[in-house]
Amino acid sequence: MIAGYFVGNMHRNGKEFDRSVEVKGLSEKQVNADLAVWPITMTLAGNDLSNLKNEIEKQNKEVKLFFKNQGFADKELTSGTTTISDTRALLYGGDSQNREFRYIANSEFTVRTNDIEKLQNALSKSLELISKGILISSKNTYQPIEYSFSGLNELKPGMIEEATKNARAVAEKFARDSNSKVSKIKKAQQGLFTINDLDQNTAYIKIVRVVSTIEYQLKD
């Protein structure tokens, strides 16, 4: 199957022998993500400010210990900010006096690693924290873990070459069907590279895609 297609009609440009055809060539590759970032949040509520502070600090240490036991290095783990808010001090919140807990603590923790498999293993075991009374959630609800691919520059030359070859193959097929031959390139436009998730449940696998648009001169 040729990864490309014919676009529009043959152009005559006002001359009987000035004929051209515009085609698109596709290059697409499936790659594995090479960087994962998991922004974690922990939330606790209580009425004793001192106890709440001690408990959120304890949970931070437990979460870090959990990931270190899963094989993560210190450089892959970052403890973020911890904030404690007083619901009674909020300017806006008419029901603040009726809330069960006065203080709410929020703490952030980030896991950043190039070892995707290690992170996925840790994710599958993260329920172990519940047995210690620790509930963690992702800061980003839409995409709990952000996966990315950084090797695009290494792929570009080969993919551009493949897209150009596929465009040429489409042009040659059109030329055969119209009793013509493909001549030189009249105009070429390189499309942008895109990197998308394989699907919404498989974000750690990426699809890299580029389309080249080329107009070829035709001859008899």
Residues 133 and 48 in one domain: yes
Residues 61 and 133 in one domain: yes
Say how many CA atoms lie within 13 Å of 116 toward its Cβ: 16
pLDDT, tens only, 171-213:
999 889 888 899 899 999 989 999 999 998 899 999 999 999 9
Give the pLDDT confidence score for residue 99 in this predicted structure.
74
Identify the band that residue 68 occupies on the pLDDT scale cut at 50, 70 and 90: very high
Domain coverage including residue 193: 4-32+150-219
d(CA 23, CA 213): 6
Give the pLDDT confidence score for residue 70 in this predicted structure.
96
CATH at 73 = 3.30.70.2970
Give the helix/strand (H/E) hosting 22: strand 19-32
Residues 91 and 185 in one domain: no
d(CA 90, CA 45): 15
E-strand stretches of 95-139: 103-113, 136-138
- To the nearest 5 percent, what fractions of the chain are helix, strand and coil? 35, 40, 25
With a CB cutoff of 8 Å and minimum separation 6, the contacts of 132 are 62
Token pair, residue 53, equals: 């502070």
Total number of domains in the chain: 2
Reported pTM: 0.80
Give the pLDDT confidence score for residue 98 in this predicted structure.
56
Give the pLDDT confidence score for residue 96 in this predicted structure.
53
Amino acid at 187: K
Give the pLDDT confidence score for residue 7 in this predicted structure.
53
As a whole number, mean pLDDT of residues 69-86 equals 95
Q: Mean pLDDT lowest for which of 32-36, 117-121, 136-140? A: 136-140
Residues 140 and 202 in one domain: no
Q: Which residue has the tokens 């596709």?
A: 26
Query: SS3 of 199, please?
Result: coil
Nearest residue to 22 via CA among 7, 33, 41, 4: 7
Residues 143 and 72 in one domain: yes
As a whole number, mean pLDDT of residues 77-96 equals 78
Residues 27 and 43 in one domain: no
4 pLDDT exceeds 80? no
d(CA 78, CA 66): 13
